[in-house]
Structure 1
Amino acid sequence: MEHAFPSRLIHLRALDPAHNIARDYSIWMSVDLFGDYVVETCWGRIGAQGQRQRRSFPDAPSARRHVKNILRKRRGSRKRIGVEYRLVAAAG
């Protein structure tokens, strides 16, 4: 059982007060008690409860690919919502 990464957090935010855009997006990566790699994403309007999705992966490369796909989509936010997501915090 390879533990390639401990718990990690990536926190992104998209803000444009002129267009009433205030979005949070967090990605949490960890290894559960059974050795599976877990990627949890939380998103929504800043200050609201938002939504949450948790996915489990058998190995670290699969989990990392999933996170890279998420970040690639967030990079395209300027075309979709008119404002870029910015990195607020990264830990781990």
Structure 2
Amino acid sequence: MDSLNHGSFVWLEAVCGERNIARRYTIALSRDLFGASIVEFAWGRIGSRGQGRAVSFASEDEASRFARQLLRRRASAPKRIGVPYREVVA
């Protein structure tokens, strides 16, 4: 996903039955009631509750930069876990 802005939501999955890998990763950008930019991201095994975190930023640019960093890390998955993440389209 090239352009990340408020209201963006990305769902990624890395699945390989032979290696018993079934991971998911989500990233959502939004604003809170006070106008701060929020990046929420969650990860875990598909079918489990997993973990999540939210980070607040003063500007939309900072939030977008952080979200792009998260996506770049997921892009390196083939080297790290041997399976690429694929975007899931709802």
CA distance in 1, matches of 2:59, 2:32: 12
TM-score for both structures, normalised by structure 1:
0.89
Paired position in structure 2 for 1:18? 18
Q: Cα deviations across residues 21-56 of structure 1 (Å, max 9, x unaligned)?
A: 000000011001000000000100000000001000
For structure 2, the 5+ residue unaligned runs are none
- Which protein, 1 or 2, shows the higher relative CO under an 8 Å CA cutoff with sep ≥ 6? 1
TM-score for both structures, normalised by structure 2:
0.91
Paired position in structure 1 for 2:78? 78
Aligned length: 86
CA-CA distance at 1:89 after TM superposition = 2.8
Identity of aligned residues (%): 44
Contact 1:9 1:89 in 2 (8 A): no
Higher strand share: 1
CA distance in 2, matches of 1:6, 1:56: 13
SS state of the match for residue 19, structure 1? Answer: coil
Give the counterpart letter for 2:36 in structure 1. Answer: D
Q: Cα deviations across residues 35-91 of structure 1 (Å, max 9, x unaligned)?
A: 00000001000000000010000001000000110000000000110000001037x
CA distance in 1, matches of 2:89, 2:25: 11
Paired position in structure 2 for 1:59? 59
Runs (4+) of structure 1 exceeding 3 A deviation are none
| Cα root mean square deviation, aligned | 1.1
Contact 1:37 1:63 in 2 (8 A): yes
